[in-house]
């Protein structure tokens, strides 16, 4: 799948869901870094640069949309593709997610069989050039 060497930052406050996304991506060859909230993610981003951020929307304190806005407003990270995990594939959610600057969204529950392919497609469409 050509995922080797591609790093994904996964953010989800639910430890089981964080573990699931991480395991699925790991099994498909990605390098995965996990964070349980936006603050932790931002701290991690100070020292490493992933190829894509996969974030849950409903996070405590700073939610996924706020995190996205933050990243998109910072020139260091504005190029980073951000994919939102939405709880429901509702039209309203989609609009909110895209408005906040997310590059795409994936509806939960995630499809473990296609998740990696979906993510690779996004990285190819928008290569993480520096």
Partner 1 sequence: MGSGLSGGGVADAVIAADLQGRVLLWNSQAESVFGYSAAESIGRSLKDLLLAGERDSEPPLTDAPCVYEALRRRKDGGLLYVNVSRTVSLENSDGARQVLYSKRDVTHLKVARDAKLVETRFGALLESTPDATLIVNAMGRIVLANSQAARAFAYDPNELIGQPVEVLLPERFRTSHVGHRSLFSQQPRTRTMGEGLELFGRRRDGYEFPVEISLSPLSTDEGTMVMSAVRDITDRKKAEQKFRGLLESAPDAMVIVARNGRIALVNSQLERLFGYPREELLGQSVDCLVPARYRGHHERHRTGFFSQPRARAMGAGLELYGQRRDGSEFPVEISLSPLETEEGLFVSGAIRDATERRRFEQTLQDASRLKSEFLATMSHELRTPLNGIIGFSEFLIDEKAGALNARQKEYLTDVLASGRHLLRLINDVLDLSKIEAGRMDIVAERFDLASAVDEVCGVVSPIARSKSISLVRHVSEEVAQVILDRHRFVQILYNLLSNAIKFTNTAGEVNLSLDREGDMLRLQVRDTGIGISPENLQKLFLEFQQLDSGTGRRHDGTGLGLVLTKRLAELQHGSVRVESEVGKGSVFTVQLPLVAAPG
31 belongs to the binding site for partner 1 (CB under 8 A): no
Q: 33 has which bridge partners?
A: 9
4 belongs to the binding site for partner 1 (CB under 8 A): no
> Residues touching partner 1: how many (CB under 8 A)?
19
Give residues 99-118 in contact with partner 1 (rule: CB under 8 A): 108-113
Report d(CA 10, CA 23) in Å as an integer. 11
74 belongs to the binding site for partner 1 (CB under 8 A): no
Give residues 33-52 in contact with partner 1 (rule: CB under 8 A): none
Give the DSSP letter of residue 2. Answer: -
Report d(CA 33, CA 114) in Å as an integer. 20
Alpha-carbon distances, residue 127 vs 58, 63, 110, 124 (angstroms): 27, 26, 23, 5
Cβ distance to partner 1 smaller for residue 26 or 128? 26
Residue 111 beta carbon to partner 1: minimum distance, rounded to whole angstroms: 8
- List the structure tokens of 61: 């304190």
- List the structure tokens of 8: 């994904």
20 belongs to the binding site for partner 1 (CB under 8 A): yes
Q: Which residues bind partner 1 (CB under 8 A)?
A: 14, 16-17, 20-21, 23-24, 27, 87-89, 91-92, 108-113
């Amino acid at each position: 799948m050509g995922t080797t060497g591609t790093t994904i930052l996964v953010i989800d406050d639910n430890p089981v869901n964080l573990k699931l996304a991480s395991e699925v991506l790991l099994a498909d060859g990605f390098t995965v870094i996990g964070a349980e909230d936006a603050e932790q993610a931002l701290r991690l981003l100070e020292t490493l640069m992933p190829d894509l951020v996969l974030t849950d929307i409903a996070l405590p304190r700073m939610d996924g949309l706020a995190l996205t806005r933050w990243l998109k407003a910072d020139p260091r990270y504005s190029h980073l593709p951000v994919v939102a995990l939405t709880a429901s594939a509702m039209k309203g959610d989609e609009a909110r997610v895209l408005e906040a600057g997310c590059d795409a969204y994936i509806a939960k529950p995630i499809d473990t069989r296609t998740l990696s392919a979906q993510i690779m497609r996004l990285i190819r469409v928008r290569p993480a050039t520096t």
